[in-house]
Structure 1
Amino acid sequence: MQKIVILTGAGISAESGLGTFRDEGGLWAQHRIEDVATPEGFARDPALVHGFYNARRAQAAAAEPNPAHRALARLQAEHPGEVVLITQNVDALHEAGGADPVLHMHGTLAGALCAACDHRWVAPAQMHPGQPCPACRAPTGRPDVVWFGEMPYHMEEIYAHLAEADLFAAVGTSGEVYPAAAFVDEVQAAGAHTVELNLAPSATTSRFAERRYGPASETVPAWVAELLA
C-alpha cells in the first residue's frame, strides 16, 4: 500500500482568512520578522511579541477549516495506506477539519512553552511578559512556536517518514523556508513521486515531478478525489 507524506504551508490556511508572510495589509505586514519571530526579538521586546501572537491566536481561533483541510482529512481516513500530514502552520485548522494525527513542525499557537525548563501547557487567550511557568514558576513563558533560528519539532520522525514515502505532496508552501524546502529532495532521492499544489509556482517548483496550480480549496479536493478513485 502506498505511503503518502504531505507537507502543508501557509497557503492552505490563507483561504480560511489566515494571512501569509507575504500578504499585504495582514498581521505580518505590520511587523518585521526579526522583531516578532526570532528569539532575539523576544528578548528585546517581549510585550510586542506577545501582543503579536495574542492577535494571531485570536485570529486562528475564529477561523474555520476550508475544503482543502477537509480533503486531506478525508485522504487520511479513506486511503488504505499510511497518510502522514506534516504542517508548517501553527493554527489548528487541520485538526478542526478532521485530520489526526498532524505533525506541527513549527509548534502551535494553542501552546505555551517555558524558556527555562521546557515545560509546555495550553496557552491562555492572552499571554504577557513575565508569564509564569506552571511547573517551575519562572517568569519565562513564551508562545510554543518555532522562531527563525530555532530547530523545528519532530525532525527525526519527519525524516524517517520522508525516507519511506511513495508519494510526497507540498501544499501551499513558498519553498523558501528550510529545512522544509528541502523535503522534496529527500523524497526524490528515495524514489518517491512528487507533486506541488500551490496558488502559484514556489521557489522549488522545478524540483517537483508534477505541479498543479490554483486555490487550495479547489486543487486539493480534486487531487484527493483522484487518489481515492
Structure 2
Amino acid sequence: MKIVILTGAGISAESGLQTFRAEDGLWEGHRVEDVATPEAFERSPRTVTRFYNARRIAAAEAQPNAAHYALARLAEDGGHEVILITQNVDDLHERAGFEGVIHMHGSLAMARCYECNVQFDAPMEMVVGDCCPGCGAPTTRPDIVWFGEMPYQMEEISDALSTADLFVSIGTSGNVYPAAGFVEFATRAGAETLELNLEPSSGVFENSRQGPATVLVPQWVEDLLA
C-alpha cells in the first residue's frame, strides 16, 4: 500500500514547539504578516532574522515525540511505501529516523540566497548580510517558504497524491493552501483518507479520529502493522 502522510504543527506541539498560528492570531507573539512574508523581510530583515534564529534554537532543543517515532517505525517496517510531507520547518521527523521528508515550507536548518537561489546549511544564528557560499553576495535569508511564495516540491507532492492508496493528515488545521486541498486531490484520485487531529479540520475525510498526536499516531501505526 502507498501511504502519503501530511503533518502539521500539531505533531510538534507536544514536543514544545508552538503551533504556527495560535488562537490570538500570533506566532510566538508576532503577527504572521510581520515575520512570514517577503515584504516583512524587506521592511525589517533584522526582526525576521532574529525571529527565525529563535525558532531554530527552540527546534534544536526540542525532542521528537512518540508520534514522530511511530511514523519513522512505519517507514522502516518496509511493508508499505510511505511518503511523508510536512508543513513544519523543524527537523524532528528526521531526528526520529525518518529519511527523505518533503519539507514543503522549507526548513530552519537551511538558508538560501536571494541572488543565486543556492541553498546551504544555516548557522544556528544567521546575521543580515551573511555572504552566500555560492555567489558571495550578502543576500542570504532563512530557507522558509513565506506567504506569497510557492511551496517546495509541489510536482513531487502532486505525483504522490495522485497515486496514493491512503492519504493521512496529522496535526494540521486544514486552513492553509495548497496543503488544505490535498485531501480533495487524493480523494479524486481514488485514495482513502484519514485525519488524526485534536479536532476535525475543514477538510472532508472519510475517517477522522480526535486526540493528541502522541496517542493517535502510535495507535494507528500499531493497528496498521498488526
Question: Is TM-score (shorter-chain normalized) higher than 0.5?
Answer: yes
* 3-state SS of paired residue (1:75): helix
Paired residues, what number?
A: 226
Contact 2:25/2:31 (<8 A) preserved: no
1:220 to 199, 217, 220: 217
Aligned positions of 1:141-156 closer than 5 A: 141-156=140-155
Aligned CA RMSD, in angstroms, stands at: 1.4
After TM superposition, give the deviation of residue 72 of structure 1 in Å. Answer: 0.3
Inter-partner Cα distance in structure 2 for 1:202 and 1:31? 24
Structure 1 segments of 4+ aligned residues over 2 angstroms from their partners: 21-27
Could you say which residue in structure 2 is the equivalent of 1:189? 188
Inter-partner Cα distance in structure 2 for 1:224 and 1:93? 18
Contact 2:18/2:28 (<8 A) preserved: no
Aligned positions of 1:20-59 closer than 5 A: 20-23=19-22, 28-59=27-58
Contact 1:197/1:211 (<8 A) preserved: yes
Could you say which residue in structure 2 is the equivalent of 1:61? 60
Could you say which residue in structure 2 is the equivalent of 1:211? 208
Residue 109 in structure 1 maps to residue 108 in structure 2: yes
Aligned positions of 1:86-125 closer than 5 A: 86-125=85-124
Inter-partner Cα distance in structure 2 for 1:104 and 1:132? 24
Contact 2:3/2:167 (<8 A) preserved: yes
Could you say which residue in structure 2 is the equivalent of 1:75? 74
State the AA in 2 paired with 1:190. A
Inter-partner Cα distance in structure 2 for 1:138 and 1:190? 44
Could you state the TM-score of these two structures normalised by the residue count of structure 1?
A: 0.96
Unmatched segments (≥5 aa) in structure 1 = none
Encode CA deviations 1:79-125: one digit per residue, 9 max, x unaligned: 41210001000000000111111111011000010011001111011
Inter-partner Cα distance in structure 2 for 1:79 and 1:171? 21
Q: 1:174 to 1:34 in 2, by over 3 A?
A: same
Could you state the TM-score of these two structures normalised by the residue count of structure 2?
A: 0.97
